[in-house]
Amino acid sequence: MHRLRTCAARLRPLTASRTVQNRSHKQPAAPRTFQPIRCFSAPVAAEPFLSGTSSNYVEEMYFAWLENPKSVHKSWDVFFRNANAGAPPGMAYQSPPPLGMSLSSLPSAQSLVSAQPNVEKLVEDHLAVQSLIRAYQIRGHHVAQLDPLGIMDADLDSFVPADIITSSDKLEFYGLDESDLDKVFRLPTTTFIGGSESALPLREIIRRLEMAYCQHIGVEFMFINDLEQCQWIRQKFEKPGVMQFTLDEKRTLLARMVRATRFEEFLQRKWSSEKRFGLEGCESLIPALKTIIDRSSANGVDNVIMGMPHRGRLNVLANVIRKELEQIFCQFDSKLEAADEGSGDVKYHLGMYHRRINRVTDRDITLSLMANPSHLEAVDPVVQGKTKAEQFYCGDTDGKRVMSILLHGDAAFAGQGIVYETFHLSDLPSYTTHGTIHVVVNNQIGFTTDPRMARSSPYPTDVARVVNAPIFHVNADDPEAVMYVCNVAAEWRATFHKDVVVDLVGYRRNGHNEMDEPMFTQPLMYKQIKKQKPVLQKYAERLTSEGAVTQQEYEEEISKYDKICEEAYERSKDEKIMHIKHWLDSPWPGFFTLDGQPKSMNCPHTGLSEDELTHIGEVASSVPVEDFTIHGGLKRILKSRGDMIKSRTVDWALGEYMAFGSLLKEGINVRLSGQDVERGTFSHRHHVLHDQNVDKRTCIPMNHLWPNQAQYTVCNSSLSEYGVLGFELGFAMASPNALVLWEAQFGDFHNTAQGIIDQFICPGQAKWVRQNGIVLLLPHGMEGMGPEHSSARPERFLQMCNDDSDMFPKITGDFAMRQLYDCNWIVVNCSTPANYFHVLRRQILQPFRKPLIIFTPKSLLRHPEAKSSFDDMNSGTDFLRLIPDVSAASRSTAAVKRLVFCTGKVYYELNRERTTRGMEADVAIARIEQLSPFPFDLVKAEVERFPNAELVWCQEEHKNQGYYDYVKPRIRTTINRERPVWYAGRDPAAAPATGNKHTHLQELKRFLDTTFNLEAFKGLS
Ligand SMILES: Cc1ncc(C[n+]2csc(CCOP(=O)(O)OP(=O)(O)O)c2C)c(N)n1
Ligand SMILES: [Mg+2]
């Protein structure tokens, strides 16, 4: 039950006997008088050896000394004794005694301390008061009244910390008693409760601390290891009178509460049986967000990007982003037809983008809410990536113009690891958005699960402590307190550009959704909720009793908004067609036609002129800055690059260089992010050179290619996949004119980012009509490296492709482009550097955006045959979706007995084996480089070239993995199912690869045998 609160005015008197008994053994019976004395903070600051950061250390030592003088070094003991005894500045410090000498042999210390015995007691009492103040600053939030229901404690614990003064006997903890309550104490510089006073009676000190830290706001900040930031927060919450609002502010707040509340009531009245995940019980979220936005706008922010879960989303769309109400209401009409292609999404997932004038600041502001899946918190890194990109494009290097707001549910915030991953991006140079304001809609429940079963941390917000973000818990039934903390949060972000959390502690008036019965599982909580007066009513009563509004004004405000809703409802009936594109969170102005179509269905050739290739190659082989010493090994690598360029050849790394470098020339920004991407996990890339003699001096030659080129960002990420891939996806969302790539360290690690792949990348366009050109580079290949370092799981990506395996498509002139346009993503496995180069360039030169999944090789990075000539990259050349056989088999195609289709690096193993066995005339090998969308036309042509050949699909992966299940039905469709497609590859298996090198080689030998044994499939059909 609600904790019984006490404040200084109600402190219980101590009994005389206890007072005497408890104090007598601790204190000399000296008379106590109050007189100005040296307090710790001021004189210590005057000590010559103390400055800046050392004061934190001194503080620690000091508190340790207070608890037990023996716990610190003797020199500190002497110092604190002398300081307390009134030694003048500069005199308190004594050199440490030589080893072995006892404290008693230090005459000066002894004489100072013993000279003023009463002062010591005074100092102790002052220090006790300082400790008490500090206790409230650290632990006051544990006793703040945060739960509007008064049932639970927001920190899951009804324990009152021993050092918080809830009754006068608690004073004993500090060696104080009731008689000290009216004594005046000097206030330390680490508190602002005095306002203009520098000393206060203890009773008043406690009362003010209670007011600052134990009412409807609980502030958690003392873990922040920055004194300036702590002082800033203390000031915001401790200064007397900080929580005062003008009449206008109160009336605006009431009007916002009216809108928030009546919106939900309206939906409930009209569509009582529809799910909407209403905000009832936490309606103050709406004024909270509006306050944050108003204040941030006043501070110069003109673009706010938001991400949020289901709870209250429609309300936020209506009352914060200001989506037209009829557009929201028509979503409830089940007869509404979808006008757009794609599957669409439920109404509480859709995004939104709106540019408007902020009425409070009269400044332009763009608000967008990102579309998101049901997967709670998955949108967090996406919002951050999009925010970073918007900052990048407008040159907002310190986040003064663009900011993000993330909303969370209490259970999800505590439970989902992506929250932690996202926090860890917050201060990394290439990922920071310079401070995010997090708002937790803490209704103290997650579906049917109580907080005690949902988290092990006291608060749902504890995860934020890892990045030193202050956390402001606030009782959501006190709208003014909510508004206050939101103002402080916005100011914090504008001042320090760091994350901050507002924890809105409310309740959930209905079940998880409006159809759900909460009494099954939370009977007592819901009995209390039924009795709970709605926050709007409480606040209206408060303002009317204060005389801030009249009852009539309040009622008029309600009927005004109800009328707005009714009129919009009438208009919504005219909406016959639902356009998801009206719910776009990231429009790309100018990229499409006005109808949202690509401007053409052509892609220019992706090849480059000889000069461009040579120039990029030369920069890639050089150190383009003066006096820069690179590692000897790297010198050799650059030299061999130079040699390749002279012989008009590229390897994998150079192919990539050519693609990036040429796009930069064309004004396309390129961003490559992932673990260890700068050097490349396999040490092949070396995009960032490190001076061997000057710490942290680096050079990115890619940024020295052309005058006025676009920017190349290459950044090693934190060790996260889910967070970083989400971030890059968000970055890619902001503009179509950037090549954004995320590379997994080994391809299989992408599966810890599965939610981003399954929920955003694969179906994003279908759900939200929003294109995205992100590129995933997934190292893949069976190299005997064991189960976790072999497979990027092509089968999973292919299984999620939306092309039809059973339909042979109509082959028209623009078939290849149309196919790309229609697919949900592109999956390739290139076998040559030239093709890798082309597919990267095509990604930008094609007139629309699709996610591109590239399985990248490991052994081919240095394979002597995996090189391409400039001839394959010159002007007029293009990406090859299929590389036909070019061996002797192609000279006498009718005689060829077997046509082997494959993809990726296994081609080189097959080719070598064919040569070894002398079977060039018998076996043709064709490489399918673009797996999806499937090159039906080219496969058909290749099959027709070898009319008498058996068809085999060869892969190095296990049969139930890799490409077989995807490719086989499509080849069969291509050949009208007239002939079998045989399988040569590893047997089905549970793990992607063996950990045993010998087994690996055995398996390789076995499937190569099958591939080249022309009898292998005889008699089978
Ligand atoms: C990643 C994920 N796991 C599970 C769910 C299913 N789910 C939907 S809402 C919900 C409870 C969320 O509780 P909370 O975060 O406190 O938000 P609230 O609904 O209380 O606002 C759950 C478990 C989900 N949507 N996403
Ligand atoms: Mg909840």
CB of 916 sitting under 6 A from ligand 1: no
- pTM (two decimals): 0.89
Q: Alpha-carbon distance 985 to 1004, whole Å? A: 8
> What pLDDT is recorded for position 552?
97
Q: Is the CB of 393 under 6 A from ligand 1?
A: no
CA distance 971 to 56: 71
- Residue at token pair 């992010």: 673
Which segments of 410-518 are extended strands (E)?
436-442, 471-475, 500-505
Task: Count CB neighbours of 162 within 10 A.
Answer: 10
Each residue's pLDDT tens digit, 140-190:
999 999 999 998 788 898 889 999 998 889 999 999 999 999 999 999 999
Verify whether ligand 1 is closer than 6 Å to residue 411 (CB atom): yes
Ligand 1 atom with least separation from CA of 311: 21
Tell which one of 316, 376, 406 to mutate to probe ligand 1, the residue whose CB is within 8 A of the most ligand atoms: 376
- Give 694 Cα–ligand 2 centroid separation in angstroms: 51
Alpha helices by DSSP H, listed for 99-201, are 107-115, 117-139
Enter the tokens of residue 207.
Answer: 């009362």
Beta carbon of 447 within 6 Å of any ligand 1 atom: yes
CA distance 292 to 288: 6
Which pLDDT belongs to residue 391?
Answer: 98
Cα dist from 5 to 164, 212, 922, whole Å? 11, 14, 91
Q: Is the CB of 440 under 6 A from ligand 1?
A: no
Atom of ligand 1 nearest to the CA of 415: 15
Token pair 């794609």 in the structure block, residue: 342
Q: Which H or E element spans position 846?
A: none
Closest CA to 253 of 536, 493, 546, 501: 536
Ligand 1 near 376 CB (within 6 A): yes
Q: Indicate left, alpha or beta for 234 from its phi (over 0: left) and psi (-120 to 50: alpha).
A: alpha
d(CA 686, CA 637): 9
How do residues 820-849 score in pLDDT, each as one tens digit?
A: 999 999 999 999 999 999 999 999 999 999
Q: Which two tokens stand for residue 471?
A: 């956390």
Which pLDDT value is given to residue 31? Answer: 29
Is 312 touching ligand 1 by the criterion CB < 6 Å?
no
Which residue has tokens 């090549």? 739
Residues in the chain with pLDDT values less than 70:
1-59, 75, 83-117, 336-343, 578, 580-581, 1021
Give the closest residue (by CA) to ligand 1 atom 22.
447
- Asked if residue 477 has its Cβ within 6 Å of ligand 1, the reply is no
279 in contact with ligand 1, CB cutoff 6 A:
no
State how far the Cα of 406 lies from the Cα of 756, in Å rounded to an integer. Answer: 17
- List b or e across 685-715, with b for residues whose CB sees 16 or more CB atoms inside 10 angstroms: bbbbbbbeeeeeeebbbbbebbeebbebbbb
Per DSSP (E only), the strands in 241-302 are none
Q: Are 745 and 675 in contact (CB under 8 A)?
A: yes
- 1013: closest CA among 906, 923, 907? 923
pLDDT for res 337: 66
How many other C-beta atoms lie within 10 A of the C-beta of residue 550? 11
For residue 375, how far is its CA from the centre of ligand 1 (angstroms)? 8
Q: Atom 13 (ligand 1): residue with closest C-alpha?
A: 446
CA distance 921 to 895: 7
| Pocket-testing residue among 447, 449, 450, 504, ligand 1, by greatest number of atoms within 8 A of Cβ | 447
- What is the reported pLDDT for 206? 97
Q: Does the beta carbon of 838 lie inside 6 Å of ligand 1?
A: no
CA distance 234 to 242: 11
Query: Residue 759 carries which DSSP code?
Result: I
In whole angstroms, how far apart are CA 1008 and each of 22, 851, 997?
Answer: 89, 34, 17
Atom 10 (ligand 1) nearest CA: 447
Q: What is the pLDDT of residue 346?
A: 76
Please state, as a whole number, how many other Cβ atoms lie within 10 Å of the Cβ of residue 367. Answer: 23
Spatial separation of the C-alpha atoms in residues 267 and 572, rounded to whole Å:
13
The reported pLDDT for the residue numbered 70 is 77
Longest dimension (CA), the chain: 116
- SS3 category, 441: strand
Amino acid 900: pLDDT: 98
Note the pLDDT of residue 56. Answer: 57
